[in-house]
Amino acid sequence: MSDATLWQRLLPLALGAAVSPLLLLGQLAQLIGTDALRLQLRRSAAYLLGASLVVLMWSWIGGWIANRLPQNQGGPDPVAAVVQLMLGLALACMSLRILVRNENGSLAVEATDTAEAKPASLGLERALLSGTSLMAVNLTSLVLFLPASQDIGRSGLPWPVRLSAWLISRE
């Protein structure tokens, strides 16, 4: 696979994964409030760290899988088709589980009391967990992210090109 072919396949996936409304709303939630700007920025950084940890885990899994697959030789790629079919089936199974778990098909949300004051460390821990959990359940980014990792790992290009492609494909 050539550099240009990799970038043509990778950029739409990276842009689609980067424009995630779920993560944007989570980040905005860290910046909203009456707290001092310094605390809001710390919470935002903790949120980013949590989301980045999940992306690193996805990268490790995607790289591990891609390095065990044969290199892409061009033309029709049955290996990529099988991997994408498996991702689609996994996404469908997760969707069905969510629907079955909730009898009426909607997600239940518990009301929380936000009136009580929380220490700054609890706010940072909550932001870290929020970033981690929102990225972990962000299936749209995962479905775009894993094929990008597969393309990078199976490209057969030199490591500097793969590294730059990996950095671009991250959110």
Q: Both ends of the chain: CA-CA distance in Å?
A: 24
Q: Give domain status of residue 81, yes or no.
A: no
The confidence band for 45, taking pLDDT boundaries of 50, 70 and 90, is very high
171: CB partners within 8 A, 6+ apart: 17, 18, 20, 23, 51, 55, 141
Please provide the average confidence, as pLDDT, over all residues in the chain. Answer: 76
Does residue 74 carry a pLDDT above 70?
no
Q: Give domain status of residue 141, yes or no.
A: yes
Q: Give domain status of residue 160, yes or no.
A: yes
Does residue 46 carry a pLDDT above 90?
yes
Higher pLDDT, 56 or 80: 56
Q: Give domain status of residue 151, yes or no.
A: yes
**Residues 64, 143, 168, 49: is their CA dihedral positive or negative?**
negative
DSSP classification of residue 137: T
Cα(107)–Cα(98) distance, rounded to whole angstroms? 8
Q: What is the domain count for the chain?
A: 1
Domain that residue 142 falls in: 3-75+119-169
In degrees, rounded to 5, the angle at the alpha carbon of residue 30 between the alpha carbons of residues 49 and 166 is: 35
Q: Give domain status of residue 153, yes or no.
A: yes
